[in-house]
Amino acid sequence: MDSSDITAAICEESDGFIYVSDTCTNELLYLNKTARDLLGSADNDYRGKVCHRVLYGLEEPCPFCTNDKLSFDETHCYQHYSERHGRYLLCRDKLIEVDGKPVRLQIADDTTPEVEERSSLEARLAVEETLVRCARTLSGNIEGASGIDELLRILGEFYNADRAYVFESTLSGIAMTNTYEWCAAAIPPEIDSLRNVPLDAFDSWIQQFDSIGMVHLIDIESTLDHDTEEYRTLAPQGIDSLIVVPLYEEGGVMRGMLGVDNPRRNTEEDRLLRSLTYFVQNDLEKRQMLERLNELSHVDSLTGIGNRTSYLEKLVEFSENRPAAFGVVFVDINDLKIANDTQGHSFGDRIIQRAGQLLNESFSGSVFRIGGDEFVAFAIDLPRIEFDRRIESFKESIARDSIVNVSVGAVWDDGNCAPRDLVAQADALMYEDKRNYHFRR
């Protein structure tokens, strides 16, 4: 078997999508097995057909074609979302020579799981950040407004809603009254007109609260019977959609409701509303939230550094008051599961403790353990040269250590980039470092 046979065998068995096409005619010259399987193409069905039609079902060359950017010397890398296949692809394109003529080679890896997981993490982070902001608001650390009013503003802006509100049961328990309301700009308030609304107007909602824990109405013009009390109550307020969750007092009796009208963003994230019910209920019961918040620990018990709660609060703080210079270090322990499985969880705990210790030696006071094997460090108003020096010092400490190995992503910025965006960038660089680590093994 010569080298060309070996190369062909490797391409055929690769998990990546590989194709070769004529840069002048766009005719496909080669599709590997992974690509053929994705496209449902027989071994030679693609030959003589243009790449944009076979790969993407397009009659004209792809608008994102990179032929004019390709060279023999460098690989052009980019991420592309294929609507046809519903996949995220990390593409690497370059020119190669076949039979004396230049042709296009693309090797694309399916990064859909990583992208979706990152998107999911970012969504959860956004919810958690907003939840922390709301909890801090209810602790009483605001000026000039009640905690509930400020919470509703945060909630309304998170969902880009017209209104956010709280309804409470009347003393008689047979009606509901709108007691708190936030309205977006140019949206008329309804709080004065929604008083002592008969409880039977919410009969269908109460059934949904009991069965699924929430009410999520979409396009009430087409989904609600216009002859119902529900429609007659909602339509005059200009409500087309809403999300509402119940508030229960001890004993399971419904005490009220928390909701948003016409949400336009994060409509799939009902976790925030569900999570806030606990805080709102407690605030309505003489605002006992401050006492509960003071009981929360902000230190990770295993490592002695900041825990996830501390991290989220700091991130909110920096988002609201951006430092002039801001650096982020994202660290993930390599092969912790293997260590736990082969040497026991006590040894795994030692690895976690050591990683936290070494990171804290370089970035003391701003280091947090945010997950089982994940750490974040913030560098506040630190010059770039000093930030880079500390990163190198940390990496050298890791290299000398006998038990811990980590992947690192670091970003520094002295402009207007949001801290949360810098965390996402550092996270992405850490994943790239981890990918390289596993590639080298």
Q: Could you please report the per-residue DSSP string of 286-333?
A: T-THHHHHHHS--B-TTTSSB-HHHHHHHHHHHHHS--SSEEEEEEEE
Q: What is the pLDDT of residues 87-114, one digit of tens each?
A: 888 889 989 888 888 989 888 888 877 7
Does position 126 have pLDDT exceeding 80, yes or no? no
Query: Which pLDDT score, from 0 to 100, does residue 4 have?
Result: 62
Query: Which pLDDT score, from 0 to 100, does residue 122 have?
Result: 57
Separation of alpha carbons 263 and 260, rounded Å:
6
At 374 the three-state DSSP class reads: strand
Given pLDDT bands bounded at 50, 70 and 90, which one contains residue 191? Answer: very high
Separation of alpha carbons 324 and 383, rounded Å:
10
Q: Which residue has the tokens 């509901």?
A: 176
Does position 424 have pLDDT exceeding 80, yes or no? yes
Q: What is the mean pLDDT of residues 283-287?
A: 67
Query: Which pLDDT score, from 0 to 100, does residue 52 have?
Result: 86
Sorted by where each starts, the structural domains of the chain and their CATH numbers stand as 3-110 (3.30.450.20), 116-295 (3.30.450.40), 308-440 (3.30.70.270)
Q: What is the pTM of this model?
A: 0.44
142-146, 272-276, 435-439: the lowest-pLDDT one: 142-146
Q: What is the mean pLDDT of residues 369-373?
A: 91
At 250 the three-state DSSP class reads: coil
Separation of alpha carbons 201 and 234, rounded Å:
11
Does position 118 have pLDDT exceeding 70, yes or no? no
Which of the two residues, 144 and 238, has the higher pLDDT score?
Answer: 238
Query: Which pLDDT score, from 0 to 100, does residue 291 have?
Result: 41
Q: What percent of the chain has pLDDT over 70?
A: 90
